[in-house]
Each structure stands twice: as structure tokens, then as C-alpha cells.
Structure 1
Amino acid sequence: MQPIYNVPSTQVKADPVQRFVAALIDGLVAYIPFFILMSINYRLAILGYIVVLGYTLTKDALPEVSGFLGGQSIGKKLMKIKVIKEDTGQGIVGDYGTAIVRQVSLMIPVFGLIDALMVLGDERKRFGDKWAKTIVVKA
């Protein structure tokens, strides 16, 4: 039996290409500063890694900054998709716990690849989405 989601009927799930491109953009946004800091000084690389980890884990819950973000990572904002809770249809801005739960599965080697490929299925949900009870939809 399929779970019933209390999501407005106007919401359309994001397609896998949008999700993969958004993830690629977010990876660049996170790692370019890391590589710049690493090239300056290896000690700065530690700071860069902390920034990468922080952004990666919380990117979908970040608050609005000058009309930008507001519950969307930079990649999701550019691809015009967003994460919503499947039970309420609300975004996850400020809900850092949910954002972290969504990302944990991607940080497990090999499992992360399998998890990422799950967006190609009928549900278009990764393990992280299932665990956090979220859906990625077109904004």
C-alpha cells in the first residue's frame, strides 16, 4: 500500500536530472572554497573541510539571505527545486535535524552511490528522503 502524502496537488516531484545537476552544483559550491583554502595553507584546509561538512549537512535548511536560499541549497535554487516534508508540504527551512537526516545516507561510502541512484525509481526518493520523510519537488 502506498503511503498517503498530505502534499498539495499542485506539487510536482523533481525529475532525477534536476536533482543530479543540483547535487553537482552544491558539490562545486562546497568544494571550491575547500580547494582554495587548501592551496593557500594545509591548516586552512581544515577550516575548509568544516565549511564543506556544514554546508553539505544543512544546505536544505538554510534561512533566506537577501532573498536567496530560504530552505533551498544553492543547487536546488538554481534548478528550481526544493525539499518539503511529505506530511505537511512545508519546506524544511530552519529544520536542521531533518536536513542532516537527509544527508547522512550520502556520506556512507558505496551506500551513498546506491542511495543517489534511488532517485531514478518510481518514488524518486533516496533513503535520506525516506528516513527524513521528505520529498523533492519543483519550486
Structure 2
Amino acid sequence: MKVAVQEGPFDAGAELDAFSHGRQQVGAVVSFTGIVRDRDGGLVRMEIEHYPGMTEKAIGEIAEAARARWDLADLLVIHRYGALPVGQPIMMVATAAAHRRAAFEAAEYLMDYLKSRAPFWKKEVTQTGAHWVEATPEDEDALSRW
């Protein structure tokens, strides 16, 4: 299991290759990479803050919960912080399991948690100002199925 909270960029392809390499008892690897997107045409960057130590601990706990709930061979969580321009990878989740259902469900569980509950503070900086991002009702609804 790897949980990384980092300022610098990551190569999602290289991370997935390393995560998948040599897994002969795994029938499914599921990955998701989140990208900073500009929904309204004015986003300059996303600024993400966190408390070192607390964030890694919280993500580690939810990763352990995923391992306890699904029969996973392994999992990977990478989340960035700092100033991230539009189009840059912001996070990545990968899960490996003998069967696809466990891999997909665990990946979705991790993504839903990261989106709504992981201790990150996100600010969108636009051409006209900045505002803090809050979880949406859709994000909260996604958590209710777990």
C-alpha cells in the first residue's frame, strides 16, 4: 500500500506501470487520475492546502478501511497540494484485486472519500478572484452508498 501526499507532479502512466508490474495473482487493476479542470472558462489554478501528518494519517486510515472491506491485493493513493494549474494531475487512485468488482468498488470508495472528506482545503483562483471550494450535494450523496 502506498499513500503519498506531495507537492510535485507525478507520472500517472509510470505509477500505474509500477503498481501493476509482476502481479500474477491479480485479475483486475483499476485506476483513476483526477485532473484540475476549468468548468467555467476562467480558472487559473487550484491551490490546495493540508496539514502534514494529519492528512497522510487520515488517508491511510481510509485506505486500511478499503483493504478491510474488499479483498485487495494492493492499493495506491497519490494526492498533490500546492498551486496546480489547469490540466495538471491532482490525484490518483489505483486498486488491485483478484476480481474486477472489488477493484472498481474500492477505487470508487477511495475517490469519493478523497473528494469529500480528506483533509484538504481547496481554493479556486480565477481571473476575477478566488474562492474556497466546498463539497457539493452530489459529492455528499456519493458517500451515502458506502
Task: Indicate the TM-score class for this superposition, using the shorter chain for normalisation.
Answer: 0.3 to 0.5
Structure whose residues are more often helix by fraction: 1
State the structure with bigger RCO (CA 8 A, min sep 6), 1 or 2: 2
TM-score normalised by the chain length of structure 2: 0.34
Structure whose residues are more often strand by fraction: 2
